[in-house]
Amino acid sequence: MPVFAYGQTQHAGHADHMPVAPESSVPAEAAGMNHETMNMSDMDHSSMDMTGMDHGSMSDMDHGSGEMDHGDMQMQGGSAPADARDPDAYSDGYVRNAGQYALPPADALIMSDMHNFGSVYFDRLEYVKARGEEWAAYEGEAWYGSTYNRAVIKAEGDVAGGKLQESETQLLWRHAVSTFWDTELGFRFDHADGAPNREWLAFGFKGLAPYWFEVDATAYVGPSGRTALALEAEYDIRLTQKLYLQPRMEVNFHGKDDERWGIGSGLTDGTAGLRVKYEITRQLVPYVGVEWASKFSKTADYARAAGESRQETRFVTGLSFRF
């Protein structure tokens, strides 16, 4: 395999957009209010409590100027105030499928919210060319489960000469924690030709940041005190309804040297790519692209010692698909 000793498969991620606490990424302002242009100058909405509002004056409100104090108004996220309404308050203790007029549980109505769904998504299934060498790379995931809890298999790897060179496979439990964010918890298993296998515990966040950045950030802990952090971000710039540009970045950190894998501690490596994708259908999306890959500090030293390049430009041709 012509690629780096430790392979490209470590980098499950990147993003400087990753918020520390995902939900706080949507503060009141960010949630979209354009305060400069709000013109309800007579109103004080500091708590969005209508009680104290003078509705009479609303008809007279000034649309021409002034600013409005929106205080803690928030259209997304946040946590429920102490006096938030109880969603079961109207039930008077009644439940479904028991009690007066109810059918027994065996005849219960089952809607799709109680069903499990599943999907397989290959983001990258590509042929890569760099420095006169070539290989195939794959990255994808399959999930199965409910809206809020899913079992996920993520797989990423390189194949050259008809042989799997390196692979990173994760088995995760994905749990929805807020409007746009999920947590992921599970295991990761790394395999590479000529290097010992590595196992990790994985914990991360995955979701959609404001401005539609798809972000994936995962921390790993392995035996012998090994730690790693992978950050990944992707963005679709839609040119037409079918054609889009997809910038994509990944960066990896490791807490400890792992010479057998050619990994040095600290910032390990990163890639930045740009793909042009065309949706034949939503499910079948061929693309071409270019990607710059780089290794840093001690990892770069290992590469140099092994006679490999620290930086390379790759040309990719591939297919995204899902079903």
Partner 1 sequence: MKHLTELPILNPGLSRRRFVQGLAAGGVLLALSPLARATGLLSAAGTKTGTANILSGTQFDLEIGESAVNFTGNPRIATTINGSLPAPTLRWREGDTITIRVTNRLKETTSIHWHGIILPFEMDGVPGISFRGIQPGETFTYQFKVQQSGTYWYHSHSGMQEATGVYGAIIIDPAQDDPIRADRDYVVQLSDWTDEDPMRVLAKLKMQGDYYNYNQPTAVDFFQDASRIGLKAAIDKRKMWNEMRMSPTDLADLSADVLTYLMNGTTPAGNWTGLFRPGERIRLRFINGAANTFYDVRIPGLELTVVQADGVNVEPVAVDEFRFGPGETYDVLVQPKDDAHTIFAQAMDRTGYARGTLATHAGLEAPVPAIDPVEWLSMGDMMGAMGSGMAGMSHGAGMDHGAMAGMRHGDMSGMDHGSMQGMNHAGMDHGAMAAAGASTEVRHARTEYGASIDMRVDMPRTNLDDPGIGLRNNGRRVLTLADLRTVGGPMDPRGAEREIELHLTGNMERYTWSFDGVEYGKSTPVRFHYGERVRVILHNDTMMTHPMHLHGMWSELETPDGQFLARRHTIPVQPAQRISFLVTADALGRWAWHCHLMLHMDAGMFREVVVA
Decide: 69 and 48 in contact? Cβ < 8 Å: no
d(CA 69, CA 258): 55
In the bound state with partner 1, the residue whose beta carbon lies nearer, of 178 and 271, is 178
d(CA 208, CA 130): 31
What minimum distance in Å lies between the beta carbon of 183 and partner 1?
Answer: 11
In the bound state with partner 1, the residue whose beta carbon lies nearer, of 39 and 169, is 39
d(CA 92, CA 84): 18
What minimum distance in Å lies between the beta carbon of 154 and partner 1?
Answer: 15
What minimum distance in Å lies between the beta carbon of 254 and partner 1?
Answer: 32
Decide: 285 and 278 in contact? Cβ < 8 Å: yes
What minimum distance in Å lies between the beta carbon of 241 and partner 1?
Answer: 5
In the bound state with partner 1, the residue whose beta carbon lies nearer, of 59 and 197, is 59
d(CA 209, CA 222): 29
In the bound state with partner 1, the residue whose beta carbon lies nearer, of 92 and 132, is 92
In the bound state with partner 1, the residue whose beta carbon lies nearer, of 119 and 317, is 119
284 CA to centre of own chain: 21
**Nearest-CA neighbor of 42 among 30, 58, 26?**
58
What minimum distance in Å lies between the beta carbon of 233 and partner 1?
Answer: 14
d(CA 22, CA 25): 5
